[in-house]
Each structure stands twice: as C-alpha cells, then as structure tokens.
Amino acid sequence: MQKRVRGLFLAVAAFCLFGFTLPANRLCRAGAPIYSPLPAPAASLDCSPRLYRRAKKSYLPYCALTRAVRYLKLHRVEFTNRRFLTIIDYTEPSTSRRLFLIDLASGDVKRLLVSHGKNSGRLYATRFSNRPESFETPRGFFLTGPEYFGPHGASLVLYGLQKGVNDNSLSRKIVMHGAYYVSSEAIELNRRLHGIARLGLSEGCPAIPMRAAEGVIDKIKDGSLLYMYSGTPR
C-alpha cells in the first residue's frame, strides 16, 4: 500500500515539475468549467463512484488529486512555490488527518488534522460558503500568500481564486493558523463534554495543530496551491 501511494505522488511530482502527463482516465475527465479570474480552459472533473472508492483506498481521493494537479499545471505561472501542494479532504470527518501536505519534489506526503467552520457542521463539514459572517468554510482553489504573526501565532494569508466560490476569503480573513482545539486531546475532550468525538470549530478558517503550524506554513507560504476539496464539481 505504501509503495502504491508513494508511486502515485511521484507520478504527480513528475507531472507538475517536468510536464509529464498522467494517464487519461475516461471515468475522471474534463467537465464543467472552473470559475477562476485567471485565464484558463475548462478543467474540473466528473468522477464515477467506482473510481472514487478505488482512490479512497489510497487515502486521498483520486479526483481531488487530479483536479489539483491539473489546476496547478494550467496556472503554473501564477504559482511561484511549486514544490508543495496542499489538499484538504473535507469529505472526511474532523477526527481524520484530512490535510495532505505533498512534497512534489520527493513524493513524500504529511497528513495533519484540520478544522472547519462552526456553521459548516460538527463532525463533518457539509456546508460551505463564500459569504461574510457565515462562519462556514469556503471551498475550492487558493493561492497561499505571506506568513504573518497574529492572535493565533504563525498564520498564512489565503487568496481565493474562484469567483463566487471563494473570492471573498481575503476580506473574510480566512487564513490558515494553528489552534489548540485541533489535537487528539481536543477530540477526546469533546467526546467527554459533548458526547461526540470531534475537533473544535473555527470561524471558517482551516486551523491546524498549533505545534505543526509554523513548520507547515513555512513550507507552503508565498505562492503554493491549496485545494479545499468538498466532493462537489468545484
């Protein structure tokens, strides 16, 4: 299993860094357009349940990975940090390490816990929004900006790239930051206090474990692609 997963990410690395192409798959092909202010052809995908189940066995949904890689290739010039690709699989519960930090140079992948907004759901994120004051997590493709130090310590500016989907993220102050409520201890505390094992909830930000925040942000800051995958065509 580990060899298969590593092989998949090495193929992705070659695709992104050297322009090789992934094998075409009739079950996961170009479909509805991606709504982005950047000039590019249509590039979102429509995936069959069979292929989705097969990809899930490798821990990261095949379609999430394929969409992110194709977007990165189509908009290559816009991303100055092309070594790292980050995908958050919001189809998984918050108790799962559903953030995938992919090193496209080595094929290594690091998995982390990550929160969602308090109005997006409790254990699962089922509602996503671009609206101010919704306290729901946005979805789609983001360009990472600079690192800064705010109330939560090391934090990362995120620019939403899809008009009407996540382009209000900057004004909403949707950022990546560390949080103490994102930990195995927080999951157990919520189980005891509220009867449901889950992470704490943010105001819409993808918060990650406090002890990992500075290292992760240092890698992906300044021009990498972050994809918040919700299982929808966008």
- Could you list the pLDDT tens digit for every one of the 234 residues in the chain? 555 555 555 555 544 444 434 433 333 332 323 333 333 333 333 344 544 444 454 578 878 988 998 999 999 999 999 999 999 999 999 999 999 998 888 878 899 999 999 999 999 999 999 999 999 999 999 999 999 999 999 999 999 999 999 999 999 999 999 999 999 999 999 999 999 999 999 999 999 999 999 999 999 999 999 999 998 766
CA 26: distance to chain centroid? 25
90 inside domain: yes
pLDDT at 46: 38
Output the pLDDT for position 232.
Answer: 77
Query: Looking at residue 63, what is its pLDDT?
Result: 82
The CATH number that applies at residue 27 is: 2.40.440.10
- How many domains are contained in the chain? 1
Q: What is the pLDDT of residue 8?
A: 54
In this predicted structure, what is the pLDDT of residue 59? Answer: 74
- pLDDT at position 106 is 81
pTM of this structure: 0.79
Whether residue 128 is contained in a domain is answered as yes
Domain enclosing residue 16, as ranges: 2-229
Q: Specify the pLDDT at position 28.
A: 38
Residue 81 lies in a domain: yes
**Is there a domain that residue 234 lies in?**
no
- Left if phi > 0, otherwise alpha if psi is -120 to 50, otherwise beta: which for 89? beta
- Token pair of 128, please? 């996503």
Is residue 94 included in any domain, yes or no?
Answer: yes
pLDDT at 109: 86
Domain-located, residue 71? yes
Beta-carbon contacts of residue 23 (< 8 Å; ≥ 6 apart): none
